[in-house]
A and B are shown apart, each in its own frame.
Chain A
Amino acid sequence: MISYLWLIPALPLLGSVILGMFGPSMGPRLSGAVGTLSVGLAAVLAMAIALQWLGHPPAHSMYQQTLWSWINLPGFSINVGLYLDPVSLLMVLVITIVGCLIHLFSTEYMEGEDGYSRFFAYLNLFVSAMLLLVLADDLALLFVGWEGVGVCSYLLVGFWFSESANGYAARKSFVVTRVADIFMLAGLLLLATQLGTLNIQNMLAGAVATWPSGSLMPAVAASLLLMGGLGKSAQVPLQTWLPDAMAGPTPVSALIHAATMVTAGVYLVVRTHALFLLAPSVLDAIAIGAVITLLVAAFAGLVQSDIKRVLAYSTMSQIGYMFLALGVGAWPAAMFHFMTHAVFKALLFLTAGAIAMRLDHEQNIFAMGGLRTKLPLAFWAFLIGSASLAALPVISAGFFSKEMILGAVAAAPMPGMVLWGAGILGAMLTAIYIFRVVFMVFLGPVNTEISGSYGLRVAIPLVTLSAGALVVGWLETPETLGGQTIFSQFLSPAVGVFRHLPVSAMIPLTGIAAPLLGVAIAYTLYRNGTWARAATTEPSRLTLFLKSGSGFDTLYDAVIVAPYMGLVQLLRRDPVDQMFMLLRDLAVALHRQLRATQIGQIRRYASWMMAGSVATIAILLFA
């Protein structure tokens, strides 16, 4: 079974090729079926491989499949090969299963849209590229998948390209991640020249053998790779593209900008964690950057009025938690939060899409209200997703993963407690901003017209993901709740054994109290009408500052975009070209002068000829 591993990325690729070539003539039913089935088959295959894996793990808990040789030079070769270990298996499972549900949802959500088959072709291509990214056994091949998901993200953000704002958002997401990719490419070239291989396992072994811990070279290589990851994962300082990427269709936001692609940075760090361990300073930088990201994003989430932008900032903030876990070396905690986040954030986005379907694509939370009784399915799904995002204790998956991260952070050496405090503050803010949305959207009077009804293709993904958001947390629980360690044991061959370090009882108790306090604050502010008033009054400067994501866009516009566009304007008139235009202008001016003499009078010509002859003779005689 495991030898069919190559089929997992190949199936969605095949689907995308079929849809790309014959899509327009296939009709919406068939193209939706092809799109969903190709990912669905990959999901079934992935689950079969996972079951077999759990029963009989292969030797050393890893499986390598070399497909063909890509580049073969003396002393340097790149193979196209797949590498499966618990980390990539987990990623594959999440991508294919969540991806399949989102495809199913899209078949109904996108009904009647132009470019229906094009949408599924892009989406399948994305899944294929993402699977290649997580399965690649070589950093060069990983980079192919990395760029592939970037391209698909660009295509899908700009899916409704007839509106120029969407095109701008697509370009922005593409260009910002491209800037990050340049750093990553530089990191790859550095590793290739220093260690002579890009095969991930050989490269890591070589790095550990050659470089002492804390030396300069691994720090440089790790930071370059990290910059690539930060761009893809929308972390400070390369986070500005994610809120704008919400211009794409909602299933795209669910799949690409919440569940899978934006966690590629986390995957990259986990995959190369041996290299990062050689650079402790880079790990500290990751933790500090993560705290800044999660707080900036949480504050921005507090004041957004567009439901998708709230979710976008919450994604940024939750990935900040994952990076925080990476910063303290808690790899399984990061992967665990990745998994729960993929489930509940996909659920939240799909529910936001489901609400928009019934409300004529309304996304402003202040225009909604009272949907609890009108859309019970959406209400329960959103409530479960929100509970998980806010990490409400015990009942939600997010609680367990966030608890695992915060526990690991609190147990880390200084400045562990400071980071933990910021994490707790972020957790409380998370509960406030997401329950602000819940209360505004689902309580109070009904403000909007509601039309249509949900079909099975919407209901199944929502129910499945809701169930997931309730139960997946039980795969790894703290001591007091059973001490289950299935998840970290499963990952231990790849990332080492994870120990829940002993911390004082205050730490988990605060972790429980913070989200509850957040919900209480959100409810109080909802009851006394603070949120509703904020929608109608002129926003204060602080609000505007927070709403723009703490002004990073303004800063980058001033520091990078404006000078660059100025340079572009300058070069558009091509200074070098001006030199040659001068020659042209001279020729044209002379031509004007000379054509004035061409007047069609023979006598005038004759007199000029005479004058010329006289002048010639005079010169010959007297010169």
Chain B
Amino acid sequence: MIAWQMSAGLALALFMLGLLGLLARRSLVFVMMSIEIMLNAAGLLFITAGMRWGNPDGQIMLILVLNLAGAELALGLILILRLRNRITNLDGDSVNLLRDVP
């Protein structure tokens, strides 16, 4: 039996990694991947919580989160493909047409 603190710590580490990737990376593909990692961290935290309180709801939530992640990933990839037609690279910072200061 693994202590729930271990897997919760893993989830936290995964989340921080994803967040760092999100903040540090400029390539949109890597940003997407970072978001996936953060989602998986959240899913792991659900499982851990279900384990801690002996409740299967956590696992149900994981399936839901995975579904959402898949749908979101598909949508995100489509957007990235569309964006590639316009900016030729995948630098997220160059997509700033909505910024306020001219």
Contact = CB atoms under 8 A, between A and B. Distances in A.
Interface stretch (A65-73, A142-150, A438-446, A592-600): A592-600
Given A595-B101, A596-B101, A599-B101, A606 B96 contact: no
Contacts of A606: 22-23
Nearest to B28: A602
Nearest to B99: A600
A596 B92 CA distance: 19
B19 interface: yes
A601 B24 CA distance: 12
A601 B23 CA distance: 10
Interface in B85-102: 92-93, 95-101
A598 B93 CA distance: 13
B92 A602 contact: yes
Interface residues on B, range: 10 to 19
A616 to B, nearest CB: 16
Contact of A602 (B24, B31, B100): B31
B93 A601 contact: yes
Interface residues of A, number: 11
A595 B101 CA distance: 7
A607 interface: yes
A598 B92 contact: no
Nearest to B98: A600
Contact of A598 (B24, B97, B100): B100
A595 to B, nearest CB: 5
With a 10 A CB-CB cut-off, give which of B95, B97, B100 has the most chain A CB atoms.
B100
Contact of A600 (B22, B23, B96): B96
Contact of B93 (A595, A603, A610): A603
Contacts of B31: 602
Nearest to B31: A602
A213 to B, nearest CB: 84
Contacts of B96: 599-601
A600 B22 CA distance: 15
A598 B101 CA distance: 7
A602 B80 CA distance: 14
Interface in B1-50: 19, 22-24, 26, 31
Nearest to B19: A610
Contacts of B93: 601-603
A155 to B, nearest CB: 54
Interface in A109-146: none
B91 to A, nearest CB: 11
A67 to B, nearest CB: 72
With a 10 A CB-CB cut-off, give which of A598, A602, A610 has the most chain B CB atoms.
A602
Interface in A565-607: 595-596, 598-603, 606-607
A598 B102 CA distance: 11
A102 B99 CA distance: 76
A603 B92 contact: yes
A607 B21 CA distance: 12
B99 A599 contact: yes
Contacts of A598: 98-101
Contacts of B98: 598, 600
Nearest to A602: B92
Contacts of A596: 101
Contacts of A602: 31, 92-93, 95
With a 10 A CB-CB cut-off, give which of B22, B24, B97 has the most chain A CB atoms.
B22
A31 to B, nearest CB: 62
Interface string B65-101: 0000000000000000000000000001101111111
A603 B92 CA distance: 8
A601 B100 CA distance: 11
A607 B19 CA distance: 9
Nearest to B34: A606
16 contacts: A595-B101, A599-B99, A599-B100, A599-B101, A600-B95, A600-B97, A600-B98, A600-B99, A601-B92, A601-B93, A602-B92, A603-B24, A603-B26, A603-B93, A607-B23, A610-B23
Given A598-B99, A602-B31, A603-B92, 8 more contacts: A598-B98, A599-B101, A600-B95, A600-B96, A600-B97, A600-B98, A606-B22, A606-B23
